[in-house]
A = this chain, B = another copy of it.
Amino acid sequence: MKIALSQLNYTIGDLEGNVRKMANAIKKAKSESVDLIVFSELAVCGYIPKDMLNYQSFIERCYAALENLKEYSHGIGVLVGMPTYSKLEKGKALYNSAVFLNDGEWVKTVNKTLLPTYDVFDEYRYFEPNDHFSLIDFKGVRLAVTICEDLWNLDDPVLYPVTPMDELVKLNPDIMINLSGSPFSYNHVEERKNRMVDNAKTYGLPLVYVNQVGAHTDILFDGGSMFINQTGEIAEELAYFEEDYRAIDWIPGETYQDKSQDYKNEDIGLIHDALVMGIRDYFGKMKFKKALLGSSGGIDSAVINALAVEALGADNVRAVLLPSKYSSEGSITDAKQLAENLGCPYNIIPIQDMVNAVESSLSDQFRGLAPDTTEENIQARSRGLLLMAMSNKFGSMLLNTSNKSETAVGYATLYGDMCGGLSAIGDLYKMQVYEMADYINRNGEVIPTNILTKPPSAELRFDQKDSDSLPPYELLDKILMLYIERQKGWKEIVDMGFDEEVVRKVIRLVDRNEYKRFQAAPILRISNLAFGVGRQMPLVAHFNN
C-alpha cells in the first residue's frame, strides 16, 4: 500500500484555501498512484480554531468544504481532520474527528478520545470524547486511526483512564495512523519522537504520524511528520518548519532503513527557525508585508531586527532609532551599524522635544514632586507613541522587543516598550537572547560585538543598568525558570540553594505584574510554558508563593 504523508500549513478559518492546498496534494498523490493520503488534525478548518467552533455557521462551512474535498477522493483514500456533529442525546455537540473519504464518499469517521485540556489546549471546551473503537478497512489493510493526544497516554501515572491504542490493538490492526496537531517547544523535540517510537514498539505496529506545520499567532507547529517501523526506527522524517510531502511504499511486515534526524532539545537553531516561521506566518496570514521596530542599540531589539529581516526581507523591516538625552552615543552608532549590517532602512527620530512637551503639559500637576519612574515611563511611552504613528502611517506592524525575563518581572512599560502587534522573543529568557545573538552571528558579525558585550540598560536615566533593579540575568533566569516552567513555590526554590530574599523578591515581581502581561502582545511560544494562553493566572490574587 502506498501511503502519502501531507504536511501542510493551514490558515484557521480559510476553508477554501485549506481545501485547495489539500486538493493539490491529492492530485500529486494520485499522479504517483498513492492509495491513501493522510492530512493532519482539524486540517479542514485549521487547528486551533478556538471559539469559532461555537458558531454553527462555521461547522456548516466545514461540512461544505468537505463536500468539495470528497470530489477529489475518486481512486484514493483520504484521511482528514475536521470537527463533526456528535449527534448524541447527551454531551457536547462536536467531535474532533478524522474523516475517511474514498471514491467520492464519506466512508467512515473516527473521533478523538483524549482531549487535552491543559497548557495551550482547551479541547474539552468544545468536544465530546469518543468511547467507541473500531478500525478502518481499506484495500484489505486494517487501519488503527487516532488523533494526536490519543497516542500520548503513556505517562506514569497516566492522565486519562482509557488508552485508545490498547482498545484498538485488540481488533488486530495492520498499521497505526495518527493525525496530529502537535506544537513546537524546544524541550519537546526529542520527547515527541520518543513517544511515537514507544507507540510503535509497544504495539509492534508501524506508525504513520502526520503533523501540521506553520504558526497560528502564538502557537508554532514544527511539522516533523514521521513514518516509524513496527520495530521503532524512524524510516521517514519530514521537514521542520516548512511544508513537506512524502509517499511511502509500505509492505506489511517489512522494516525500513532508519533515516531519523538528530534534533536535540534546546537546540538554538531550532528555536531560531521556529521564530522566523512565526514572524513570517503572522505577517503573511494577517496580510502585512512590512515591519517596524524601535532599535535601541540593545541586544533584544538587535535580535528582533535580525529575525525580522530573515522572515520578511531587509527591505520590509524598518529600524527606528529614538534617542533621548539618556541614550549613550554607543547605542545610536550600534543600532545604525546593525541596520547597515542587515541592509534594512532606518530612521532617527529624537524624542526629547516630545518628552519636554509632555513634561511641560504636566508641570502644573507635577510641581514640587520628585522625578520617579513616571518620567522613565514617559520616555518609553513617547517612543511607543511615535512607533505606533509610523506603524499607522505606513501600514507596518510594530514588533514588540520584550524578552521573557523582563516580561516576567514587569521590567517594561505598559503602552511603552510593551507596544507591538507581536512579541517574537517574549518566550526567550535574556540568556537565551544572548545565545540567539551568537547563533545569528554564527557565520560572521551581523549583530555588532559591542551590542553583545555592553551591560544591559533601559537608558531611561543617566548611567542606568538593568542590574540596578534586578539580580544578574544568569541568576534571575534560573529562578524564573523554576517558578514559571517548573512551577515550584518559593520554599522549594530556596531549598535548592537560592537566596530567600532574592527568590521572594523575584516571585513577588512576577505575581504583581500579571496585570501588565494581561495587556501584552501575543508571544511566539517556544517553551513548554509561555506567557499567554498557556499560563492563565488570576490578576487579583494574594499568593506569596
Interface residues, chain A, with chain B CB atoms under 8 Å away:
11-14, 17, 46, 48-52, 54-58, 88-92, 117-118, 122, 124-125, 157-161, 215-217, 281-282, 285-286, 347, 349-351, 353-354, 356-358, 360-362, 364-366, 369, 372-374, 377-378, 381-382, 384-386, 388-390, 392-393, 414-415, 419, 421, 487-492, 515, 518-522, 533, 535-545
Contacts A52-B541, A91-B160 known; 14 new A-B pairs at CB < 8 A = A14-B541, A52-B538, A52-B543, A55-B487, A56-B487, A89-B158, A90-B157, A122-B122, A122-B536, A124-B124, A356-B357, A369-B393, A381-B384, A415-B415
- Are B216's CB and A538's CB within 8 A? yes
A selection of 10 A-B contacts at a CB cut-off of 8 Å is A11-B541, A12-B541, A12-B542, A14-B541, A91-B160, A354-B358, A357-B357, A365-B393, A378-B389, A519-B519
CA distance A384 to B285 in the complex (A): 30
CA distance A381 to B382 in the complex (A): 9
Chain B residues in 8 Å Cβ range of A535:
51
| Among A48, A58, A125: residue with most chain B CB under 10 A | A125
Chain B residues in 8 Å Cβ range of A537:
50-52
Chain B residues in 8 Å Cβ range of A372:
392-393
Number of copies: 2
In whole Å, how far is A16's beta carbon from the nearest beta carbon of chain B? Answer: 9
- Are A57's CB and B488's CB within 8 A? yes
- Are B52's CB and A11's CB within 8 A? no
CA distance A535 to B52 in the complex (A): 9
CA distance A356 to B160 in the complex (A): 62
Contacts A538-B50, A542-B17; is A365 near B384 (CB within 8 Å)? no
Chain B residues in 8 Å Cβ range of A414:
388
Contacts A117-B124, A357-B357, A419-B415; is A540 near B285 (CB within 8 Å)? yes
Which of B46, B54, B377, B393 is A366 in contact with, Cβ under 8 Å? B393
- Are B217's CB and A540's CB within 8 A? yes
CA distance A337 to B521 in the complex (A): 38
- Are A57's CB and B491's CB within 8 A? yes
- Are A350's CB and B361's CB within 8 A? yes
CA distance A372 to B392 in the complex (A): 9
What 5 A-B pairs are tightest by C-beta distance, nearest first? Answer: A57-B489, A357-B357, A14-B542, A13-B543, A374-B392
- Are B489's CB and A161's CB within 8 A? no
| Among A521, A538, A544: residue with most chain B CB under 10 A | A538
Closest to A49 in B: B538
- Are B13's CB and A542's CB within 8 A? yes
Chain B residues in 8 Å Cβ range of A361:
349-351, 353-354, 386
In whole Å, how far is A477's beta carbon from the nearest beta carbon of chain B? Answer: 20
CA distance A357 to B378 in the complex (A): 14
Contacts A384-B415, A489-B55, A536-B51; is A90 near B161 (CB within 8 Å)? yes
In whole Å, how far is A60's beta carbon from the nearest beta carbon of chain B? Answer: 8
- Are B50's CB and A536's CB within 8 A? yes
CA distance A432 to B388 in the complex (A): 32
Contacts A389-B358, A415-B419, A542-B11; is A90 near B52 (CB within 8 Å)? no
- Are B388's CB and A217's CB within 8 A? no
In whole Å, how far is A350's beta carbon from the nearest beta carbon of chain B? Answer: 7
Chain B residues in 8 Å Cβ range of A350:
361
- Are A54's CB and B415's CB within 8 A? no
Chain B residues in 8 Å Cβ range of A217:
538-540
CA distance A7 to B166 in the complex (A): 47
In whole Å, how far is A482's beta carbon from the nearest beta carbon of chain B? Answer: 11
In whole Å, how far is A503's beta carbon from the nearest beta carbon of chain B? Answer: 12
- Are A11's CB and B540's CB within 8 A? yes
CA distance A215 to B540 in the complex (A): 9
CA distance A349 to B360 in the complex (A): 10
In whole Å, how far is A441's beta carbon from the nearest beta carbon of chain B? Answer: 31
CA distance A57 to B54 in the complex (A): 36
In whole Å, how far is A531's beta carbon from the nearest beta carbon of chain B? Answer: 11
- Are B374's CB and A362's CB within 8 A? no
Which of B157, B354, B385 is A415 in contact with, Cβ under 8 Å? B385
CA distance A537 to B362 in the complex (A): 39
Closest to A219 in B: B538
CA distance A217 to B378 in the complex (A): 27
CA distance A89 to B216 in the complex (A): 35
- Are A392's CB and B365's CB within 8 A? no
- Are B385's CB and A492's CB within 8 A? no
CA distance A386 to B533 in the complex (A): 31
Which of B158, B374, B385, B492 is A90 in contact with, Cβ under 8 Å? B158
CA distance A513 to B536 in the complex (A): 22
